[in-house]
Amino acid sequence: MKTELSFTPLSQVSTELLAVLAIDTQTAKGPDAKATPRLLTTDPGVTAAAAAVLASGEYKAGANETLLLHAPAGLAARRLLIVGLGKQVKATVHSVRNAAGTAVRFTKPRGIRELALALPSSESLSAAASARAAVEGAYVGDFDPDTYRSDRKDQSVQTFTIVAPAGDQQSTIESAFAEGVIIGESQNFTRSLVNEPGNKLTPTVLGQRAAAMAKEVGLACTVDSTSKLHELKMGAFWSVSQGSAEPPALIVLRYEPAGVKDGPILGLVGKGITFDTGGISIKPADNMEKMKYDMAGGAAMLGAMRAIALLKPRVRVLAIVCASENMPDGKAYKPGDVVTAMPVAADRPGKTIDIINTDAEGRLVLADGLTYARTLGATHLIDAATLTGAVGVALGMINAGAFSNNDPTFEKFATALATSGEKFWRLPLGEEYAEMIKSDIGDIKNTGGRYGGAITAAEFLHVFAEDTPWIHLDIAGLAWVDENKPFMAKGPSGVAVRSILEWVRSYSA
């Protein structure tokens, strides 16, 4: 999709479809309250073209509600699309992001290949922030998961233009627009990886895709396999890998901004299970096909690193993705096995792990990934994983789970959410939960029982983060969207890319 920024007056924009945003200004409540839609534009031509239909009462300006007008009088555009942001008091730049995605998804199946979106004219909505959010939303809306359909028709919007008001903010809007392009493309890069079938995206291929991206954007990258895991004594990671005919991949990317020699080193660690059968503790057949998405945490780290490389924050970052399949063959690890994780130092033996359930494999690969990040110099850690079904039970498919051992570090992440617009909810850690994963035969066990499953999984990872400031993101409930939304196709969401990026940028010198 080609993206452009224009400062042409709206009435003069020649395009197949011009989209403008609207809000409901009604503040009254009760059964007799009627919606009062208002366009967020000061262009007299556009307001005149839509005046009659807005006055009719048939359009309410609800969130992502659309109304199409053909051949609008007085406009150079062939069609006028009105997209609602919902109630005025609730409208934010995140509403603008979704509205832009809605406009793109409205356009795609109608054979319209050219779309222009007018930035909202509103004191409560920053033009620059809206420009960035809108272009992010347009990329999100343009993605479809039908990669392997033999009769696939290219319905992509070929040209997406944001139309902004001319004035003193022009350079700021241009910068925000450019950022939005990078972030939208990076989120879709993550989604394209998560969407790949397990037979197409093996750990080896994921490593190749990571290396190709790194070369494209200027990141240092190494991809190692079995021998490196044995060299590093990554017994937890290897135990998951050993049951598969596909070799594992240990992917390491580095971002080193010029002139930055001190300050924090941020370690990004992602779970990269390219297919998860559950191993010997095999999963039920229903919905197992979705387990190709079990590398969404690793893919989020790769997408974030792509954006970091292009946006160039002044902070050092390294990313580790531990990629493997979890398969149940004769060499696979078994319930009751005891495996030894990577040692953090030569004089400190690795933790021993009592395997209770081989389907709790993500925390094993992350354990060695977190330790490796620390040995490579990471001073702050963040991991992302489709780790537990329990987090979806706790939070529904509305919020992803977040955990941290350090309040100042988490506060930076919470602040990042205000920009990313993604929904994470912090859940607790504590000694009582840590007691639930103590083992009789080893140091810890890899599950803590039925109750508090997302929390005990986080406590397992806490063992390997130790006192290093650390955030754990359990994205299992949000990494895959089961139904189409007005602004996003069902399938991979790319969740956490924007939030991780903004957390990293918060450390920029």
What radius of gyration do the chain's Cα atoms show? 24
- Token code pair at residue 396: 């529904």
- Domain presence at residue 193: no
Q: φ and ψ at 194, to 5 degrees?
A: -65, -30
> Tokens 């594992």, residue?
248
Is the domain of 8 the same as that of 147? yes
Is the domain of 100 the same as that of 218? no
- Domain presence at residue 298: yes
Q: What CA–CA distance (Å, rounded) separates 102 from 134? A: 10
For residue 209, indicate whether it is catalytic.
no
Return the CATH number at 347: 3.40.630.10
Is the domain of 473 the same as that of 344? yes
Is the domain of 330 the same as that of 213? yes
In tens digits, what is the pLDDT along the chain, a chain of 509 residues? 999 999 999 999 999 999 999 999 998 777 777 899 999 999 999 999 999 999 999 999 999 999 999 999 999 999 999 999 999 999 999 999 999 999 999 999 999 999 999 999 998 999 999 999 999 999 999 999 999 999 887 788 999 999 999 887 999 999 999 999 999 999 999 999 999 999 999 999 999 999 999 999 999 999 999 999 999 999 999 999 999 999 999 999 999 999 999 999 999 999 999 999 999 999 999 999 999 999 999 999 999 999 999 999 999 999 999 999 999 999 999 999 999 999 999 899 999 999 999 999 999 999 999 999 999 999 999 999 999 999 999 999 999 999 999 999 999 999 999 999 999 999 999 999 999 999 999 999 999 999 999 999 999 999 999 999 999 999 999 999 999 999 999 999 999 999 999 999 999 96
User: Where does a domain end: 134, 164, 186?
Assistant: 186
**Domain count along the chain:** 2
Q: What CA–CA distance (Å, rounded) separates 189 from 318? A: 19
Is the domain of 175 the same as that of 219? no
- Strands, E assignment, 279-345: 316-326, 338-340
Cα angle, residue 377 at apex, residues 373 and 382 outer, rounded to 5°: 45
- Domain presence at residue 83: yes
Q: What is the distance of C-alpha 38 from the center of its chain?
A: 32
Element (H, E) at 293: none
Give the model's pLDDT for residue 29: 79
Among the listed residues 53, 52, 25, 50, the one whose alpha carbon sits nearest the alpha carbon of residue 37: 25
For residue 283, indicate whether it is catalytic.
yes
DSSP type of residue 294: G
State the helix-helix crossing angle for 497-505 and 407-420, rounded to 10 degrees: 120
Q: What CA–CA distance (Å, rounded) separates 182 from 355? A: 42
- Domain presence at residue 191: no
Helix (H, G, I), strand (E, B) or coil at 172: helix
Is the domain of 242 the same as that of 383? yes
Give the model's pLDDT for residue 320: 99
Is the domain of 388 the same as that of 435? yes
- Domain presence at residue 493: yes
- Token code pair at residue 40: 């967020």
Helix (H, G, I), strand (E, B) or coil at 164: coil
Contact 125, 93 (CB under 8 A): yes
Cα angle, residue 129 at apex, residues 269 and 406 outer, rounded to 5°: 35
- Domain presence at residue 192: no
Give the model's pLDDT for residue 30: 75
Q: What CA–CA distance (Å, rounded) separates 116 from 382? A: 37
Return the CATH number at 169: 3.40.220.10
Is the domain of 347 the same as that of 474? yes
- Domain presence at residue 363: yes
User: How many beta carbons lie within 10 A of that of residue 326, not counting itself?
Assistant: 30
Tell me which of 38, 60, 113, 283 is the catalytic residue.
283
Tell me which of 97, 108, 292, 363 is the catalytic residue.
363
Is the domain of 272 the same as that of 400? yes
User: Where does a domain end: 186, 213, 242?
Assistant: 186
Is the domain of 255 the same as that of 293? yes
Is the domain of 166 the same as that of 234? no
User: Where does a domain end: 186, 217, 250?
Assistant: 186
- Domain presence at residue 93: yes
Contact 10, 43 (CB under 8 A): yes
Q: What CA–CA distance (Å, rounded) separates 413 from 452? A: 23
What range does the domain containing 398 cover?
A: 198-505
Give the model's pLDDT for residue 453: 98
Is the domain of 360 the same as that of 481? yes
pTM of the predicted model as reported, rounded to 2 decimal places: 0.97
